[in-house]
Structure formats: C-alpha cells, structure tokens
C-alpha cells in the first residue's frame, strides 16, 4: 500500500492562496468533461443576494492514479460577489465540485473526497487563516495503554456530550470512573444531522455537527492528559451513495467504478472494492492521516465482513498489516509517534468488528482485539431464564478458544476480545427484563425499576477475561430501547440522561461499577490472570449460580454470581487456604478457609460476591 499525495489533494490554504486537487479516475478532459469548484464564505451561504464564486479546474494525468483535476485561487485578489459579501474575511469557506459532461449535462453537488473540513450537509470546507493546532507539552510523553490494561467506554459525541466541547468537559468524569480508553462512534462526515455515522461521505476530518478539526484535536489532547486513549470508528467497507466515488460515477452511468463495487460481502450500503489499488491506498492514507494529524491511538474497524478476503487478501488483513508496519517504522522518528512504543511492545489498538469470525480475525491478521457477540448472546439467554446457557456463559467469560498472543513475521502481538452486555447496536440490557411503552414500540424503554437484575451481569463482564466495554450511560442505568431494524435505529437522537446519575438507581449502579473497575485496575488477576470456570450443574447452575476464578501467581479471586431472585448457599473447594476478603462490600469476609475442603458460601439473589485471598 502507498500513501496518497495529500499535499496535492483537497483544499489547502496558505496566506489566502487556496489550492484544490482531486483524483477522478476515468473522468478525462479528452472526453469533453469540464470541472468547476463553487466557493462561498460560510456567512453568505444562506443569503439569496450572494452566489458562490466559480473557478474552473485544469486536467492532468497522475502516473499512479490517473485523471487529476486542480486549480489555485487567490481569495485576496478575487472580486467579491457583491459589496457586502463576506468574501475575503477570515473564517470558513464552503465549496463543492460541479462536472459538465457532454452526455449527462451538469452534475452538481460533488463532495471533495479529500476535504479536511466540512460544511452543512454535502458541503466541503476550508478555513482562511487556519493555524495548525498546538499540542500540549504533555502530549509528547503520552503512552497508549497496554492491551491487557484497557477499560473501554463507547460513546457517540452527539449523544454523550452534544458536541466536542461538552464531551471534553466529561473526560474528568470518565477518568474518575476508571476509564482509560474511549471508543468514539464514527466522526467522519455524513449527509444527515442525526445519524450514527456509518454512511460516510468524507473521511479526512470530523463532521461539522460535532465541531472542527481543532476541536477534535483538543478532545484527543485533553483525553491523553486525563490518561485516556482514543480509538475511532473506521467505516471502510461501505459508504453513503453521496460519497463522490459512488455518486459521480452513477450519475455518469459508468458500468464499472474505479473505487466502489462488490468485493466480499455487501451487508450495508455502497460497498468499496479493495481489488482496486486506489481503494486500498485511499483507506491506508485515511488511517495514516488520523494517526498523524489527530493522534488517535487506534481504530475500531466497522463491518469487517464487507472487506474480509482472508489472511493473505488485499482487503482488511492487508490494511491492518500495513498500518501496523507503518507505526513500527516510526520508532525513534517523531516524538508524537512514540506513544505506541512501551516496554518493547507496540500498543497500536486495531480492533475488528468481525462478529462472523472473531477468533479467526485474531489468529490470521494483525488485529489485536475484536468485538464478539458470543458473550452478549449467552447473557441474553440467561436473562430469558435458560439455566443451560450458564455453561455457555461461563466459557464465554473466559474467552475459551481465543488466542492470547501470536507471533507473525517476527512480530509478537498480544490478542484479546471485548466483553460487553451493551453497545450501540442493541437495546439496553435492562430491556431483557421488561419494557414500558412510550406511545409506540419505537419509544418504549426498559423498565428501570428492574435495574437490580442487571447487577450479576455487570459483575460478570467487568471481572471476565478480555477488555470490558461500557456503552455510554450504562454505568448509571440508561434504559433506551432500540429496534432491531429500520430507520428508527439510526435516525433518533438518544442523548444520555445525565439526571439518572443522581437518582437512587443511578447511585446504586455507578457505585457498583466504580468498585468493579477499581478492583480490575488494581489487581493483576483480573487483567492478566488465568480464568477457570467451575462447570457443575447440580452444585451451581441448577441454582442459577455461576462461579469462576481469576488467578495470577499467588493472587486469587473467586467470582460468584447469582442470576436468580433467591439467595443461594453453595459449596466450594478453595485451592488456597487463608483469609478471604469480600471485595464488593467487605461484610462477608471468610476467615480461616481450608484448602480443598468443602466450604459453603452464600450468594445474594440478583447479585454476586468476589472473594480475594489475603496474602
């Protein structure tokens, strides 16, 4: 893979001189095509008296990527559209491309695929007088966390904080909660105001509804100062039909496309074709841009099946390998790249959403983590009353069958999977126990008064093997319902209800979550210890009880979970003799426990206990 020459692509401003450049393969001047860029100051875009200034682009041939269109304009010497126009003033200018084709006529509203900033809807943008962001002094010493130490928090800017500025204000809260990595849902430009962001139309910047590029750089800078890493959702397997390499070529009526097309699976929207070298290099360049310009700590790759063609293919595996290799080559080169190098490891986070083959993607690629819905499926079945699924859950909490480390091409890479019971794709977990109708099915909510039933599931995944992930507001009982399909999933804003933090339910839940995260971050058996599941139906599962232990060296903890409504007394044979401290409340300490002798423990209903041997 090669980096595209971003120094000749997109809109680049310097002292009032703006250069525009775009690759449009197969769109040549010899075929009668003409390309213009329409530019207007942001202040004037909705005023009927002001029309955009129009500039024609020149055509040339790039030896690597073919047809290239470019022009240069001088904001300072170009006449104003009228006397009171804002043209020439500092600030943001919005623009779009327009093609004149001899067969199809005028094709307007072509987005710049290389824009670094965006305007409303389908407008690209640049800032007159833009000054690069100045990173804080602490940024040069920031280190991305080791994979085993991550406690992850998934959030959507528009729902979590409303915008980037207010999200920054919440970072100290996340740090206090114990979070050390956030996974941010798509930041790339989309056409709609309310949207999850999985239909991108622009990849090289942050959508204007959240803020501008300096705002996002400030967010990541502030996160690092709060010892929180940032990974961003990367949607590389499909796009919106407004994405220029889909939209323009459809408008032209081309049967083939230099960028889009069927490649692996066509699960969503317009599929990208990784058989095309241009497509490969484009998304590799997007990755590099976000690592270099925004200082992200890694990526969560959405919908991997759309570009999964095996371990030696040209799609997903090729992208994550080249991204890893590029970071590896930065050792000792550039202070900000040093965030990935610590104790002879490369802590670049590359997390796959490969729900069809989570083990496979870890075994066969340079991904070091993956989403997996196997634990989520097991907890849903247990919540529905299936005692038989406690066995399945016990093994899933231990990530049975998942690799922990793989050496490839001399690169030793730690591997793990995420553990969660909630994420953006599903209803809040409390909905499994009952919902309350709010006018119609779309607006129903989980019955929050049943919050206590969620407790053993919280304890389970926050003490399990792997990376635990909370979905925004989960820690204090957010209870939105999410339809399984339809536009109601993605076109309703579901802002986090921060008032839940203060009520009795919120206080109880966040108190438990804080204890569990603190325990995980302070005791190594929960981050790198062995997981052993005690698989016995008669003693445990028949009573809705599940037991597993975490051990690292002489550090041992027993996690006992009760998914039923009644308290249960069950026998257990502790492998280490001694005194045991109960971690959740400290009121049920076990004194003088013998080793490998039957010892009865009590587990309250819809709750759990964690006993740790004191050394």
The sign of the dihedral angle between the CA atoms of 82, 86, 87, 89 is positive
Contact 389, 382 (CB under 8 A): yes
- Helix, strand or coil, per DSSP, at residue 171: helix
Contact 449, 443 (CB under 8 A): no
User: How, if at all, do strands 578-582 and 590-593 pair?
Assistant: antiparallel
Contact 205, 189 (CB under 8 A): yes
Give me the pLDDT at residue 292, please.
96
Distant-in-sequence, close-in-space partners of 443: CB < 8 Å, separation ≥ 6:
437, 481
Give me the pLDDT at residue 61, please.
97
Contact 82, 95 (CB under 8 A): no
What gap in Å lies between CA 45 and CA 50, rounded to an integer?
7
Give me the pLDDT at residue 416, please.
98
CA distances from 276 to 40, 85, 219, 314, 315 (A): 34, 44, 35, 9, 10
Does the predicted TM-score (pTM) go above 0.85? yes
Task: Point out the residues of the chain with pLDDT beneath 70.
Answer: 441
Give me the pLDDT at residue 208, please.
87
Distant-in-sequence, close-in-space partners of 358: CB < 8 Å, separation ≥ 6:
352, 370, 371, 372, 374, 402, 417
Give me the pLDDT at residue 484, please.
83
- Helix, strand or coil, per DSSP, at residue 428: coil
Strand partners, 571: 600
Nearest Cα to 462, choosing from 514, 389, 535?
514
What gap in Å lies between CA 575 and CA 293, rounded to an integer?
52
What gap in Å lies between CA 543 and CA 600, rounded to an integer?
14
Contact 562, 456 (CB under 8 A): yes
Residue with tokens 């775009």: 22
Homologous superfamily of 10-128 in CATH?
Immunoglobulins (2.60.40.10)
The tens digit of pLDDT for each residue in 559-586 reads 999 999 999 999 999 999 999 999 999 8
Give me the pLDDT at residue 449, please.
96
Give me the pLDDT at residue 78, please.
94
Domain 531-614 annotated CATH 3.40.50.20: no
Strand partners, 548: 533, 559
In this structure, the chain runs to a length of: 615
CATH number for the region 150-235+296-524 comes to: 3.20.20.80
Give me the pLDDT at residue 121, please.
87
Q: What are phi and psi of 285, to 5 degrees?
A: -70, -35
Domain ranges of the chain: 10-128, 150-235+296-524, 531-614
What gap in Å lies between CA 332 and CA 611, rounded to an integer?
45
Contact 433, 446 (CB under 8 A): yes
Q: If residue 319 lies in a helix (H) or strand (E), which one and from where to where? A: helix 316-328
Please check whether the two domains, 10-128 and 531-614, share a CATH topology: yes
């Amino acid at each position: 893979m090669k980096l595209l020459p971003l120094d000749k692509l997109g809109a680049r401003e310097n002292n009032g001189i703006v250069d525009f450049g775009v690759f449009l393969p197969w769109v040549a001047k010899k075929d009668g095509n003409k390309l213009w860029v329409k530019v207007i100051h942001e202040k004037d875009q909705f005023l009927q008296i002001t029309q955009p200034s129009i500039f024609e682009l020149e055509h040339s041939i790039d030896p690597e990527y073919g047809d290239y269109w470019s022009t240069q304009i001088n904001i300072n010497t170009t006449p104003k559209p009228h006397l009171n126009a804002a043209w020439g003033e500092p600030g943001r200018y919005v623009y779009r491309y327009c093609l004149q084709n001899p067969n199809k006529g005028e094709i307007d509203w072509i987005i710049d695929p290389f824009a670094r900033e965006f305007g409303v809807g389908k407008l690209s943008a640049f800032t007159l007088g833009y000054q690069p962001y100045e990173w804080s002094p602490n940024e040069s010493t920031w280190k991305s966390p080791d994979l085993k130490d991550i406690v992850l928090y998934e959030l959507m800017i528009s729902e979590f904080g409303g915008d980037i500025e207010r999200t920054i204000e919440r970072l100290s809260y996340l740090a206090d909660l114990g979070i050390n990595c956030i996974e941010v849902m798509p930041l790339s430009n989309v056409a709609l105001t309310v949207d999850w962001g999985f239909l991108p139309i622009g990849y090289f910047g942050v959508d204007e509804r959240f803020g501008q590029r300096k705002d996002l750089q400030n967010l990541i800078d502030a996160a690092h100062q709060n010892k929180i890493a940032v990974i961003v959702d990367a949607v590389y397997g499909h796009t919106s039909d407004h994405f220029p390499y889909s939209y323009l070529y459809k408008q032209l009526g081309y049967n083939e496309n230099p960028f889009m097309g069927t490649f692996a699976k066509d699960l969503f929207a317009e599929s990208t074709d990784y058989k095309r070298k241009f497509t490969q290099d484009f998304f590799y360049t997007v990755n590099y841009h976000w690592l270099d310009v925004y200082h992200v700590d890694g990526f969560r790759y959405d919908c991997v099946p759309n570009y999964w063609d095996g371990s030696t293919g040209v799609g997903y595996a090729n992208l994550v390998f080249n991204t890893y290799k590029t970071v590896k080559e930065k050792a000792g080169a550039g202070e900000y790249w040093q965030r990935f190098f610590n104790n002879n490891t490369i802590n670049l986070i590359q997390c796959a959403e490969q729900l069809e083959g989570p083990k496979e993607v870890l075994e066969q690629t340079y991904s070091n983590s993956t989403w997996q819905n196997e634990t989520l499926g097991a907890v849903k079945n247990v919540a529905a009353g299936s005692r038989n699924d406690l066995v399945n859950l016990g093994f899933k909490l231990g990530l049975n069958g998942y690799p922990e480390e793989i050496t490839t091409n001399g690169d030793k890479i730690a591997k793990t999977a995420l553990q969660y019971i909630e994420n953006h794709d599903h209803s809040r977990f409390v909905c499994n126990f009952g919902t309350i109708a709010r006018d119609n099915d779309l607006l129903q909510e989980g019955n929050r008064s049943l919050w206590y039933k969620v407790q053993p599931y919280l304890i389970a995944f926050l003490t399990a093997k792997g990376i635990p992930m909370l979905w925004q507001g989960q820690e204090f009982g957010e209870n939105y319902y999410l339809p399984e399909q339809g536009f109601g999933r993605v076109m309703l804003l579901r802002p986090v209800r921060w008032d839940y933090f203060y009520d009795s339910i919120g206080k109880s839940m966040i108190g438990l979550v804080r204890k569990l995260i603190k325990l995980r971050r302070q005791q190594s058996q929960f981050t790198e210890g062995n997981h052993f599941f005690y698989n016995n139906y008669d003693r445990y599962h028949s009573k809705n009880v599940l037991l597993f232990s975490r051990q690292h060296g002489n550090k041992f903890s027993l996690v006992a979970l009760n998914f039923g409504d009644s308290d249960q007394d069950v026998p257990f044979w502790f492998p280490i003799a001694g005194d045991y401290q109960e971690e959740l409340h400290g009121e049920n300490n076990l004194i003088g426990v013998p080793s490998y002798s039957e010892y009865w423990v009590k587990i309250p209903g819809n709750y759990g206990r964690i006993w740790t041997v004191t050394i």
